[in-house]
Chains A and B, each alone.
Chain A
Amino acid sequence: MSALTFTLKMIPAQRIDCSPLTPDLLVDQSVSEIAAIELVVGNTTARVDSLFDISGSNKAEIKFLNSSDKLDFVGHNMISGTISIEGNVGAYLGLFLEGGQIEVNGNSGIYTACEMKLGQIKINGNAGEFVGGARPGYKNGMTGGIVIVTGNTGARTGDHMRRGMILIEGNAGDYCAARMISGTIAVLGNVGAHLGYGMKRGTVLLTQMPKQGISANFNDCGSHTLAFLPLLFNSFAKLESKFATTESFSRVQRYAGDLGGIGMGEILIKI
């Protein structure tokens, strides 16, 4: 049984809310019923088959082909199954994700993995601002699961992040780990300005000192060998990511902050 595939017919003028197209919601529906689902497009609605060519029937495995950054809310509330996307995807990819896997061969928009709870999202490209963050006005970002970005992430990666892991193979933008509550963000490339601004708890793991250094509201706690790091790297081994092949290290320089707040967060930099 081949994957249920939605091939976008043309780049839409308006944004499309794709939240009804998840494996869990489609599992009991026939292809004709799926074709008749009305998606919110801008300030109107449109049938799925007016926007996408539909093929395949395995609803546990959904594909979006010829995708566009106008496709929002892909994988919304998804509990199981897989979604793969060829091309870019819009905002709120994997919002409230509770399980399953999403893979994007392209770039994702703002609020990727927003308030995600479990599962895995892999972006084979760049991700926009607020990866793993909380919705505007909300206080808890992602609470579990793993996000892998092979490219770069935008500003405020991990904003209000509560638990889980964000692994960035490229660079992270400004205000990375801002207002972070807990969890782990690891970056193989550079990070932007204001790293850990307002960070409460949690860990940022870097392989190199940021170009601009560490901000004054983080205090140097010295160099240490931390026993949990080999366990963390062991857990990366099963991932399809550069992190799986990154040589494990446990020797780090530890900075604690943001001392403007409770100061229990940490930035660990490989030495």
Chain B
Amino acid sequence: MIINGVTIDETFAEAFPMKGTRLIITALNAKWAMISAQAFTGFATSVIACGCEAGIERELDESETPDGRPGVSILIFAMGGKSLAKQVETRSGQCVLTSPTSALFSGLDNPDKEIALGKNLRYFGDGFQISKMIDGKRYWRIPVMDGEFLTQENTGVHDSVGGGNFLVLAESQIQALEACEAAIIEMKKIPNVIMPFPGGVVRSGSKVGSKFKALNASTNDAFCPTLKGQTNSDLSPEVESVMEIVIDGLTKEDIDKAMRVGIQAVCDLGADNGIRRISAGNYGGKLGPFHFHLQEIMA
């Protein structure tokens, strides 16, 4: 398949099941809601070493938040419910509870499966914390030095998908980066997904395994342009730079949509702007059960 001079490889991206939740952080103004959200989602690019993958879904205006203040919606994913709960609790405690004027709410209801949000943070109140049941949901009011930190007791957990991806192969580094930036702009318009890497783009895509026993992932040498002559390269002579966009989403369909608009944005730049190919991280079925076939998505 070729779109605007860009070859879409006949391959698939391989993704794996994760547990995810959505949180809503509000604050006195949009600036402080974003600061808190950025702190919460910091160091959360990959479960390989961060324990979770998290990102900002979108900004929310006053009409969209539980307390009528500006807010930010974030998504966080981990490999299991317990690890998700741990990450949510530590990040909430260190990055949201601490952030001036903030409040923290669940953005995803699932009465059948919940994890603690403010349930344990309340003990920071040292006995002065106050519980309030409002509309069947429990909230905690924790006294803090700038007033009160309001947080919902629990948040719902959703069976999710992590690791959807595609690779942008370009004639130069700048062209690869600009294409990825264009893709991220479009993909951020899709709900229920995040692109957890810095700016949504990852330049160090990995393969499963390593020659070093201690590592379970290592550089994707087949797509490293400087190794064209040293390894079983997947790159043609014209390709000088490859960048990857990784997508986590609440459902496979959400990732499908995000990949479609992202790849389309890259293809819109086309061969005239140095974009040669779109490929994907295919690990031969070793990584996970969710397969995103590029040509089917773009059909």
Mark A residues whose CB is within 8 Å of B. Answer: 144, 163-164, 182, 184, 201, 203, 224-228, 230-232, 234-235, 248, 264, 266
B67 within 8 A of A: yes
Contacts of B134 in A (CB 8 A): 228, 231-232, 235
Binds A, one of B125-133, B202-210, B282-290: B125-133
Q: A266 to B131, alpha carbons, bound, how many Å? A: 12
Partner of A231, one of B67, B131, B148: B67
Which residues on the A side are within 8 Å of B128 (C-beta)? Answer: 264
A210–B130 CA distance with the chains assembled, in angstroms: 24
Residue of B nearest to A256 (CB): B128
Chain B, interface size category, equals: 10 to 19
Q: Is the interface of A mostly helix, strand, loop or mixed?
A: mixed
Q: Which of B73-122 contact A (CB under 8 A)?
A: 103
A235 touches B135 (CB 8 A): yes
**Are B148 and A224 within 8 A (Cβ)?**
yes
Could you say which residues of chain A place their CB within 8 Å of the CB of B132?
184, 203, 228, 231-232
19 new A-B contacts, CB < 8 A, other than A203-B132, A227-B141, are A163-B133, A164-B133, A201-B130, A203-B130, A224-B147, A226-B141, A227-B67, A227-B147, A227-B148, A228-B132, A228-B150, A231-B66, A231-B132, A231-B134, A231-B135, A231-B139, A231-B150, A232-B132, A235-B135
* Nearest Cβ on chain B to A258's Cβ, whole angstroms: 15
Q: How far is the CA of A183 from the CA of B141 in the complex (A)?
A: 13
Asked whether A226 and B133 contact (CB < 8 A) given A231-B66, A264-B128, the answer is no
Closest to A248 in B: B68
Which residue of B has the minimal Cβ distance to A231? B134
Q: Which residue of A lies closest to B69 (CB)?
A: A227
A-B contact count (CB 8 A): 50
Report whether B147 and A230 are in contact in the complex, using a CB–CB cutoff of 8 Å: no
Q: In the complex, are the beta carbons of B68 and A230 less than 8 A apart?
A: yes
**CA–CA, A266 and B141, complex, Å:** 13
Write the nearest CB–CB distance from B239 to chain A, whole angstroms: 52
Q: Which residue of A lies closest to B26 (CB)?
A: A227
Name the one of A164, A184, A201, A230 contacting B67, with C-beta atoms under 8 angstroms: A230
Cα distance A184–B135 in the bound complex, in angstroms? 13
Q: Considering the complex, which residues of chain B in the window 125-166 have a beta carbon less than 8 Å from any beta carbon of chain A?
A: 127-128, 130-135, 139, 141, 147-148, 150
Task: Tell me, rounded to whole Å, the shortest Cβ–Cβ distance linking B64 to chain A.
Answer: 13
Contacts of A201 in B (CB 8 A): 130
Neighbouring A residues of B139 by C-beta, 8 Å: 228, 231
Chain B residues lying within 8 Å of A184, measured Cβ to Cβ, are 132
Q: Which 7 pairs, one residue from A and one from B, show the smallest C-beta to C-beta distance?
A: A227-B150, A235-B135, A230-B68, A235-B134, A227-B103, A230-B67, A231-B134
A-B contact pairs, 30 of them (CB 8 A): A144-B133, A163-B133, A164-B133, A184-B132, A201-B130, A203-B130, A203-B132, A224-B148, A225-B147, A226-B147, A227-B26, A227-B69, A227-B103, A227-B147, A227-B148, A228-B67, A228-B132, A228-B134, A228-B139, A228-B148, A228-B150, A231-B66, A231-B67, A231-B134, A231-B139, A231-B150, A232-B132, A232-B134, A234-B135, A266-B130
Shortest distance from the beta carbon of A200 to any chain B beta carbon, whole Å: 12
Q: A201 to B125, alpha carbons, bound, how many Å?
A: 15
CB distance from A161 to the nearest CB of B (A): 13
Complex-state Cα separation, A184 to B134, whole angstroms = 10
How far, in whole Å, are A234 and B26 apart by their CA atoms in the complex?
16
Could you say which residues of chain B place their CB within 8 Å of the CB of A144?
133
In the complex, which residues of chain B have a beta carbon less than 8 angstroms from the beta carbon of A266? 130
Residue ID in chain B nearest A201 by CB atoms? B130
Q: Within 8 Å CB of A226, what residues of B?
A: 141, 147-148
**Complex Cα spacing A234 to B133, Å:** 13
Q: Name, among A224, A228, A264, the residue most crowded by chain B CB atoms within 10 Å (CB to CB).
A: A228
- A165-B141 Cα distance, complex, nearest whole Å: 17
Q: For the complex formed, measure the closest distance between the CB of A248 and the CB atoms of chain B, giving whole angstroms.
A: 8
Q: How far is the CA of A224 from the CA of B69 in the complex (A)?
A: 16
Most interface-central of A163, A201, A227 (chain B CB within 10 A)? A227
Residues of A within 8 A of B26 (CB): 227
Residues of B close to A227: CB separation below 8 A:
26, 67, 69, 103, 141, 147-148, 150
Chain B residues with CB under 8 A of A234: 66, 68, 135
**In the complex, what residues of A have CB within 8 A of residue B67's CB?**
227-228, 230-231
| Least CB distance, B150 to chain A, in whole angstroms | 4
A182 touches B150 (CB 8 A): no
Residue of B nearest to A202 (CB): B130
Give chain B nearest CB distance to A116 CB in angstroms.
14
Minimal beta-carbon separation of A252 from chain B (angstroms): 11
Residues of A within 8 A of B150 (CB): 227-228, 231
Provide the bound-state CA to CA distance between A188 and B67, in Å.
22
Q: How far is the CB of A165 from chain B (nearest CB, A)?
A: 8
**Which one, B69, B131, B147, B148, contacts A182 given CB within 8 A?**
B131
Distance between B141 CB and nearest chain A CB, rounded to angstroms: 6
Closest Cβ of chain A: how far from B109's Cβ, in Å? Answer: 15
Q: Bound complex: CA of A39 vs CA of B22, how far in Å? A: 54
Most buried by A among B66, B127, B134, B141: B134
